[in-house]
Structure 1
Amino acid sequence: MSTNQTLLQAFQQASYPVAGHSKRTVQELKRALESVDANLAGDMYGTGHVIEDFQARMAAYLGKESAVFFPSGTMAQQIALRIWCDQKNSPKVAYHPLCHLEIHEKDGLKELHHIEAQLLADTDRLIRLDDVEQLDENVACLLLELPQREIGGQLPDYSELEAISAFCRERGIKLHMDGARLFEITPYYQKTAAEICSLFDSVYVSFYKGIGGIAGAILAGESEFTETSKVWKRRHGGDLISLYPYTISSDYYFEQRVGRMQQYYEGAKDLASRYNQCYGFRTIPAEPVSNMFHVHVNVSAEELEPQLISIYEATGIGLTGNLRPTSESSCYFEVSIGDRYTDLPKSKLMEAFQLLDAAMKQI
């Protein structure tokens, strides 16, 4: 069995995983479906109260004219960029080198839509205004991911975000937000989702990350934009006969959790502080700006794994199920805080970190 498989198995058996909300089981969908009238009519090819009402509420929450529910964010974002490219009659967009479209989608944007990407900034830092000022004049749209997941969930200062938005509007460049974790950044910015979205021409949000729904995404913007997105949704095969299991779970868990983002944010800061006081550990960012962060460790995954497994068995605390090597002598993992962290026995958590600190000093 590989290192990560062994660690994942131990993590899954731990009594108190620190991250996320709960196991993704059928019970999560059942709970959501039981919250509505069993005779509620499902949607059909994107029409019907169950989907239209949810889309309208999300449009209002995001401060946009209209919103469309998609089965996946991958589909929604490719379509958003295609619309903006068609509008400008230019197949050029710009985004970060570690953008989801660049590293996780098998070149879908390029192969399906023949859109070229200008990569901005270095892989280990955020896009800044001076990067944006160097954009090719034919770029139709700039995509910004908030927060930037692959570098620990970092965020630009809000003033810089405002400056980038103003620059793009002055130059006629559409600004699209990869807001997969938009709800999770509102505590740090001390802004509403609508205030943040007002800086962007279009926005995508996810309902299975911080919200914890089954699957699905919202794409929001002006009505002309979203109506065009419905055409592309049909072309992509995303206009399923019914999406109500996804919209109902999205709606249910949105209502359950969107008001807890401050709690998750405070939990992330607390946990990051514990890691940063542990020998050989550091977090990126040093203090989280959302409910997520990366933990970097000055030992190899092979050296760290048995220590973690021993701690899980001794305390029941599960810190991570996945170690990713950064070199022969270092590794990292990602943490996203949800409901579980509040209910952890803090005495057990303290014991786990005491054991981890002692173990690291012996490696």
Structure 2
Amino acid sequence: MSEKNLLLEAFGQTAYQLSGNRKRNLQVLKDALDPLDGNLASDQYGTGKLIEEFQQKMAAFLGKESAVFFPSGTMAQQIALRIWCDEAGIKKVAYHPLSHLEIHEENGLKELHQIESVLLADTNRTIVLDDVLGMKEQVACLLLELPQREIGGVLPPYEDLEAISAHCRKQGIKLHLDGARLLEILPYYQKTAAELCSLFDSVYMSFYKGIGGVAGAILAGSEAFTKVSKVWKRRHGGDLISLYPYIVSADYYFEQRAHKMEQYYTDAVELAGYFNGCHAVETKPQVPVSNMFHVHFAWPKEQVEPVLIQISQQTGIGFTHYLRPARESDSSCYYEISIGDLYANIPQDQLRAAFQMLDNAMRAGSEGK
């Protein structure tokens, strides 16, 4: 058995875990369905009271005229960009080089829609106004991911977003929000979802990230935009005969957790402080701007994994089930953490003991090098 599997096994046996809301098992759906009358009619091919009322609810929450429920964010975002490209007659869009569309979708935007990407900024920072002003190519749409997940969940200042939005509107460039973690950034910006989304022409939000639903996403914008998105949803095979398991769980966990994002954010700041107090460990960003951040160790994963396994076994607290080599160097490693309901359940004395063990182990290992 590999060391990675040993870490996963040890993590799975812990009583407390730092990240997430709960295990992703069938109980997630069972809890969401339990309050409902079994005779409630399901949606059918994108129509019906169940889906239409939820779409209206999300449109109002996001401050948009209309919204459409999709089975996946990948589908929703590719469709949004296709609509804006068709409208402009330009088959180019701009986004960050570590955007989900660029690194996780098997080149879907180009293969399915013949849309080319223009990459802005570099892999170590967010897109800023100067990047947008300096574009030498015409694009139909600029996509901003908030927070920028692959570099630790960092965010640009809100004033930068306002400036980028104003510039795009002046130049006729559509601005799309990859808001997979939209709810999670509202406490930092101290804005409502509608206030933030008013800067964008179209918005995507996920229902399984911080909310913890089964799956699914919402795509919101003008009535004209969402009308076309429904056509593309059908073309993509997204109009399943029924999407109610996703819709019901999305609505249920939205009500359960949307109002908790402030607490998750506060907890993330506290937890990052624990990590940054340990030798040869740092978080990116140092002070989180949402409920997520990256934890970096100044050792290779092969040396860190035994430390985390020992902490799991002796304290009952699981830090993570995986580690990845850092992009900068194979001599260091990192993992991502997203605070949810689970963190608040950890006894503080056990938490402090786990971090004391981590600090001691990292110091001892560094002295032995």
- Classify the TM-score, shorter chain: over 0.9
In the other structure, the counterpart of 1:146 is 146
Query: Partners in 1 of 2:315 and 2:324 — Cα distance?
Result: 23
Give the superposition deviation at 1:362: 1.2
Q: Percent identity?
A: 67
In the other structure, the counterpart of 2:296 is 296
Query: Partners in 2 of 1:160 and 1:351 — Cα distance?
Result: 41
In the other structure, the counterpart of 1:337 is 339
Query: What residue identity is the alignment partner of 1:156?
Result: P
Residues 35 and 252, structure 1, Cα contact 8 Å, conserved in 2? no
1:254 and 2:290 correspond: no
Query: Partners in 1 of 2:126 and 2:18 — Cα distance?
Result: 27
Give the superposition deviation at 1:263: 0.6
1:325 and 2:298 correspond: no
In the other structure, the counterpart of 1:359 is 361
1:205 and 2:205 correspond: yes
Query: What residue identity is the alignment partner of 2:80?
Result: A
In the other structure, the counterpart of 1:312 is 312
Query: What residue identity is the alignment partner of 1:333?
Result: Y
Query: Partners in 1 of 2:259 and 2:285 — Cα distance?
Result: 24
| Local SS of the residue matching 2:247 | helix
In the other structure, the counterpart of 1:235 is 235
Query: Partners in 2 of 1:223 and 1:2 — Cα distance?
Result: 53
In the other structure, the counterpart of 1:54 is 54
**Alignment deviations for residues 280-313 of structure 1 (CA, whole Å, 9 cap, x no partner):** 0111111000000001110110001011101100
In the other structure, the counterpart of 1:184 is 184
Query: Partners in 2 of 1:213 and 1:118 — Cα distance?
Result: 33
Aligned residues: 363
Query: What residue identity is the alignment partner of 1:228?
Result: V
| Local SS of the residue matching 1:254 | helix
Query: Partners in 1 of 2:350 and 2:271 — Cα distance?
Result: 13
Query: Partners in 1 of 2:165 and 2:331 — Cα distance?
Result: 41
| Local SS of the residue matching 2:176 | strand
Query: Partners in 2 of 1:328 and 1:185 — Cα distance?
Result: 31
Query: What residue identity is the alignment partner of 1:153?
Result: G
Give the superposition deviation at 1:137: 4.9
Query: Partners in 1 of 2:138 and 2:363 — Cα distance?
Result: 54
TM-score (normalised: structure 1): 0.99
Query: Partners in 2 of 1:307 and 1:121 — Cα distance?
Result: 36
Query: Partners in 2 of 1:5 and 1:223 — Cα distance?
Result: 49
Query: Partners in 2 of 1:3 and 1:182 — Cα distance?
Result: 35
Query: Partners in 2 of 1:54 and 1:35 — Cα distance?
Result: 16
In the other structure, the counterpart of 2:214 is 214
Structure 2, gaps ≥5 residues long: none
Residues 77 and 204, structure 1, Cα contact 8 Å, conserved in 2? yes
Query: Partners in 2 of 1:170 and 1:235 — Cα distance?
Result: 32
TM-score (normalised: structure 2): 0.97
**Alignment deviations for residues 79-101 of structure 1 (CA, whole Å, 9 cap, x no partner):** 00000000001100000000000
Query: Partners in 1 of 2:2 and 2:200 — Cα distance?
Result: 44
Residues 147 and 181, structure 1, Cα contact 8 Å, conserved in 2? yes
In the other structure, the counterpart of 2:163 is 163
Query: Partners in 1 of 2:205 and 2:22 — Cα distance?
Result: 21
Residues 46 and 242, structure 1, Cα contact 8 Å, conserved in 2? yes
Query: Partners in 2 of 1:98 and 1:227 — Cα distance?
Result: 30
| Local SS of the residue matching 1:44 | coil
Moved more, 269-278 or 131-140: 131-140
Give the superposition deviation at 1:39: 1.0
In the other structure, the counterpart of 2:72 is 72
Give the superposition deviation at 1:2: 2.7
Structure 1, gaps ≥5 residues long: none
Give the superposition deviation at 1:135: 2.1
Give the superposition deviation at 1:322: 1.1
Give the superposition deviation at 1:5: 2.0
Divergent runs of 4+, >6 A? none
Residues 85 and 92, structure 1, Cα contact 8 Å, conserved in 2? yes
